[in-house]
Amino acid sequence: MGYRWFDKQGTNPLWAFGYGLSYTTFSLGSFEVHGHISRDNCATIKFQIENTGNMAGEEVVQVYVSSSQLSEPVLVKSLKAFKKVYLEPGEKKMICLEIGAEAFEWYDVNGKAWRLDTGLYKILVGCSSRDVRGILDISVM
């Protein structure tokens, strides 16, 4: 069992996947997605992180993909990119993470092949699987 099982069952674990303790606090904002997804095209997820606390610290920012907008959801939520960021108090950084078609593929057991379904997907950006700070739409063509 993992965070995807808990999400699918609607169960709240004691500690969410990616949860970590820190002596400081962070805020995320200015979420943007540039591009669309296809077999030949990647997209860039951009957002800003700021250390809003009084101590220096590190945060692992995480990008998840969800297919809840499709007629048959394949992905409840799946981690596709992450980055560890060190910030001094009050410091801000712009984060850019690239994701490609493989982030949206799923294995069709009956067809015995990887599939990429077109449609509207959600990009979820946060600090753990349950601490989502921004949600973006992205098209897979």
**Nearest one of 38, 54, 48, 53 to 103, comparing CA atoms:** 38
**Nearest one of 58, 113, 103, 110 to 78, comparing CA atoms:** 103
3-13+24-140 in CATH: which number? Answer: 2.60.40.10
Q: What distance in Å separates the CA atoms of residue 2 and residue 4, rounded to the nearest whole number?
A: 5
Please give the backbone phi and psi of residue 51, each rounded to the nearest 5 degrees, phi first. -85, 105
Task: Give the amino acid at 49.
Answer: I
**What tens digit of pLDDT does each residue of 67-115 get?**
866 655 667 789 999 999 999 999 999 999 999 999 999 888 889 999 8
- Which residues touch 135 (CB under 8 Å, ≥6 apart)? 31, 122, 123, 124, 125
pLDDT value at 61 more than 80: yes
Q: Is residue 52 a contact partner of residue 27, using CB atoms and an 8 Å limit?
A: yes
Helix, strand, coil content of the chain in percent (nearest 5): 10, 50, 40
Check residue 131 and give its pLDDT: 92
pLDDT value at 1 more than 60: no
Calculate mean pLDDT across residues 23-48.
Answer: 96
Check residue 69 and give its pLDDT: 65
More confidently predicted of 59 and 12: 59
pLDDT band with cut points at 50, 70 and 90 for residue 121: very high
pLDDT value at 136 more than 80: yes
Least confident of 17-26, 115-124, 131-140: 17-26
- Residue in the block written with tokens 């990647």: 42
Please give the backbone phi and psi of residue 102, each rounded to the nearest 5 degrees, phi first. -60, -25
